[in-house]
Amino acid sequence: MHEMSIAEGIRGVIEDAAKANSFSRVTTLRLEIGRFAGVEKHALEFAFDVVMRGSPAEGAELQIIDIPGKALCYDCAETVEIEHRLDPCPNCGGGKLLAQGGEEMRIKDMEVL
């Protein structure tokens, strides 16, 4: 379950930010996760709760913002939103697509005290 290591990385970012910016508690953390990032959201939520114990983010609300998958269609030259990497173009039905977004994962922001 790589979601546990993701949560550990998030904890490190939070602890570094708490030291650098002199805050003691995170109340809300917003993550942007792309559709193709390969992250199981329920597993990440569980891992977040476990890993944040004893940290400034213990008890913080985790809000996950879904980022759609996007691809450039070489057949119609449009950037389109797709559900799965191997989906055809929803505009023209073409199969020559290059993924352009949906793999990202980042902390958007956090509310702190």
Binding residues for Ni(2+): 2
Q: Which residues of 70-109 are buried (b: 16+ CB within 10 A; e: fewer)?
A: bbbbeeeeeebebeeeeeebeeeebeebeeebbbebeeee
Annotated binding site: 2, 73, 76, 89, 92
CA separation for the pair 24, 11 (Å, rounded):
13
CA separation for the pair 71, 94 (Å, rounded):
12
Annotated binding site for Zn(2+): 73, 76, 89, 92
